[in-house]
């Protein structure tokens, strides 16, 4: 079993053999005051480009830490190509949705404003800190890209025309999500769109139905909250078209 | 499209044609002070035995409400036979897990105390109120049964010997969850066990491996928080062996 440090941190700096990396004040505070790590201890670093590295704490003080890179422990690898588009929901549940979508390997997260969307304002820095923490904890090698919130018609017109978009719908005709995922063309990626809790308006549904990439999908007979629907749909896509058959690295026999 | 009231309440009383039902003080307060419903308005009632009923508010006051049953709008039906066993986690995430497991149709929810379980005390009334609210909102016709928290060895020895138990494991050999679900015998139900975030101990893993019902399953390469693992596993089971192909009742064309 590869020995690895329990703590993983996302950094923006390049990671290369022999390099030295400084941490943000927040990360330095976390290592020093929460975990009480001292010089000589190791953490894992990743930046979404250069894989995962073992890093040795050379010095640490109030609001700063300097680490030297020891060795690459995992090479960078592309994650599964699934995007989550969602109508924003209220704060605690939005935090949750974004954290869980990151854990479940979404490559891109995009808030979409619909006619029945209640929450208008999204704090980008809050989305980003949720995404960063969840990526650190889940051991993924990158952060999901966060798309700027936009109205449904704009988001749809910007969406790649040939990239399938599975739109979760409680009403009307829909394929079971598992069937829809299994019928997707291989290697073309997929976007999952979760509507607002009031549902799409009839106008929006007609607009969606006319988009060549859209297929309506169902998630069973129970009414799911938006964040539950997002997690269910992502879980199914990963299991049936993504990397659900892979095992966590760094974890041989317990 | 069947017209139905937006509000659904779980009650314990029998529901029969011509019956009159009184609400709990909490439900009465909710209808009167939060929703501001007056006599003559309708709500939907269910009790886990008698289907769903349309009920007319006859009278409502501070802490009481009296309703008369108008007609049954859905007959009782058995839900999918999937149980969730989980090592308890801290409060906000436990609330979340229990709500989401209810939305995703778990028939039974059972806390299991393992050697690395950090949270010892589970408030049964808090579990129950989370379950009740999620059942009301998700439009299911019953509440999940809540098992009393017990130690892993006791819970396993009480578990029906021939009921498959899928144990989610981050380390060691495991079948992909989707493959394991598709290989389950039909019509025998299934239990999903989510371990504590520190993982099972080697002793516990040996003990589990010796249980005839246990199969270890994996949920992909990322490390999932306990509540995410529970929701992923339940979603996959519902989609591949449960009622994932069914559509919500009461929702024809939008």
For range A179-195, the mean pLDDT? 93
By residue count, chain A amounts to 254
Name which of B140, B235, B248 is nearest A170 (Cβ-Cβ). B248
Q: For Cα atoms A115, A120, A126, give the angle at the middle one, nearest 5 degrees.
A: 140
Half-sphere exposure of A147 (CA within 13 A, CB side): 24
Q: Does B76 touch chain A (CB under 8 A)?
A: no
Confidence at residue A6, expressed as pLDDT on a 0 to 100 scale: 79
A contact residues 138-197, partner B, Cβ 8 Å cutoff: 138-140, 169-172, 174, 176-179
Residue B4 pLDDT greater than 70, yes or no: no
- Residue ranges, comma separated, of all CATH 2.40.240.20 domains in chain A are 8-74
User: pLDDT (tens digit, 9 = 90+) per residue, A89-126?
Assistant: 888 889 999 999 999 999 999 999 999 887 767 888 89
**Residues in chain B within 8 Å Cβ distance of A177:** 239, 244
Q: For Cα atoms A136, A56, A6, give the angle at the middle one, nearest 5 degrees.
A: 35
Q: By C-alpha distance, which of A104, A224, A196 is closest to B104?
A: A224
- Residue ranges, comma separated, of all CATH 3.40.1280.10 domains in chain B are 82-241
Chain-chain contact of B248 with A223 (C-beta, under 8 angstroms): yes
Name which of B218, B244, B246 is nearest A247 (Cβ-Cβ). B218
Task: List, as one string, the DSSP characters of A116-137.
Answer: T-------HHHHHHHHHHHHHH
The highest-level CATH class for domain A8-74 is: mainly beta
Which comes out higher in pLDDT, residue A79 or A92?
Answer: A79
Confidence at residue A3, expressed as pLDDT on a 0 to 100 scale: 53
Confidence at residue A122, expressed as pLDDT on a 0 to 100 scale: 81
Chain-chain contact of A254 with B218 (C-beta, under 8 angstroms): no
Q: How many CB pairs under 8 A join A and B?
A: 161
Residue B209 pLDDT greater than 80, yes or no: yes
C-alpha dist (Å) from residue B180 to A54, A55, B15, B175, B217 = 35, 38, 40, 6, 7
Give the whole-number percent of chain B exceeding pLDDT 90: 82
Give the whole-number percent of chain A exceeding pLDDT 70: 97
Work out the burial of residue B237: count CB atoms within 10 Å of its CB; fewer than 13 is exposed, 13-18 middle, 19 or more buried: buried
Q: Does B103 touch chain A (CB under 8 A)?
A: yes
For range B142-171, the mean pLDDT? 93
Give the whole-number percent of chain A exceeding pLDDT 90: 82
Q: By C-alpha distance, which of A157, A164, A159, A155 is closest to A188?
A: A164
Confidence at residue A34, expressed as pLDDT on a 0 to 100 scale: 95
**Residues in chain A within 8 Å Cβ distance of B96:** 96
Confidence at residue B1, expressed as pLDDT on a 0 to 100 scale: 36
Residue A237 pLDDT greater than 90, yes or no: yes
User: pLDDT (tens digit, 9 = 90+) per residue, B122-140?
Assistant: 888 899 999 999 999 999 9
Work out the burial of residue B119: count CB atoms within 10 Å of its CB; fewer than 13 is exposed, 13-18 middle, 19 or more buried: middle
**Domain B82-241 homologous superfamily, CATH:** SPOUT methyltransferase, trefoil knot domain (3.40.1280.10)
Confidence at residue A91, expressed as pLDDT on a 0 to 100 scale: 83
Predicted TM-score of the model (pTM): 0.94
Q: What whole-number distance in Å separates Cα of residue A247 and Cα of residue A225?
A: 29
- What are the helix (H) ranges across chain B? 25-29, 91-103, 124-138, 152-158, 177-182, 202-209, 226-241
Q: How many CB atoms lie within 10 A of CB B202?
A: 10
Half-sphere exposure of A250 (CA within 13 A, CB side): 19
Residue A4 pLDDT greater than 70, yes or no: no
Confidence at residue A56, expressed as pLDDT on a 0 to 100 scale: 97
User: pLDDT (tens digit, 9 = 90+) per residue, B75-90?
Assistant: 999 999 999 999 988 8
Alpha-carbon distance B114 to nearest alpha carbon in chain A (angstroms): 16
Q: How many CB atoms lie within 10 A of CB B29?
A: 16
Confidence at residue A253, expressed as pLDDT on a 0 to 100 scale: 46
Asked whether the beta carbons of B153 and B112 are under 8 A apart, the reply is no
When pLDDT is cut at 50, 70 and 90, the band that residue B27 belongs to is very high
Average pLDDT, chain A: 93
User: pLDDT (tens digit, 9 = 90+) per residue, A150-172?
Assistant: 999 999 999 998 899 999 998 88
**Residues in chain A within 8 Å Cβ distance of B254:** 169, 171-172, 199-200, 202, 205
Q: Does B5 touch chain A (CB under 8 A)?
A: no
User: pLDDT (tens digit, 9 = 90+) per residue, A24-57?
Assistant: 999 999 999 999 999 999 999 999 999 999 999 9
Confidence at residue B2, expressed as pLDDT on a 0 to 100 scale: 45
Q: What whole-number distance in Å separates Cα of residue A68 and Cα of residue A90?
A: 41
Confidence at residue B251, expressed as pLDDT on a 0 to 100 scale: 74
Tokens of residue B137, six digits = 């909102």
């Amino acid at each position: 079993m590869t020995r690895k440090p329990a703590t993983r941190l996302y950094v923006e700096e390049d990671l290369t053999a022999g390099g030295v990396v400084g941490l943000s004040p927040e990360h330095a505070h976390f290592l020093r005051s929460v975990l009480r790590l001292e010089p000589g201890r190791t953490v894992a670093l990743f930046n979404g480009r250069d894989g995962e590295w073992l890093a040795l704490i050379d010095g640490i003080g109030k609001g700063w830490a300097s680490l030297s890179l020891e060795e690459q422990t995992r090479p960078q690898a592309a994650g599964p190509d699934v995007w989550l588009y969602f109508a924003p929901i209220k704060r605690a549940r939005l935090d949750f949705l974004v954290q869980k979508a990151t854990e479940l390997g979404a490559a891109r997260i995009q808030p979409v404003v619909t006619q029945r969307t209640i929450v208008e304002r999204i704090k980008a820095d809050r989305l980003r800190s949720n995404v960063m923490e969840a990526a650190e904890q889940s051991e993924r090698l990158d952060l999901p890209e966060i798309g700027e919130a936009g109205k449904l018609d704009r988001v749809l017109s910007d969406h790649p025309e040939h990239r399938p978009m599975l739109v979760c719908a409680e009403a009307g005709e829909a394929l079971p999500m598992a069937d829809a995922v299994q019928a997707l063309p291989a290697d073309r990626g997929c976007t999952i769109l979760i509507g607002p809790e009031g549902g799409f308006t009839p106008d929006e549904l007609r607009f969606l139905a006319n988009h060549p990439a859209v297929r309506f999908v169902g998630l069973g007979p129970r009414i799911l909250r938006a964040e539950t629907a997002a997690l269910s749909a992502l879980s199914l896509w990963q299991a049936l078209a993504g990397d659900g058959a892979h095992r966590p690295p760094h974890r041989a026999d317990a």
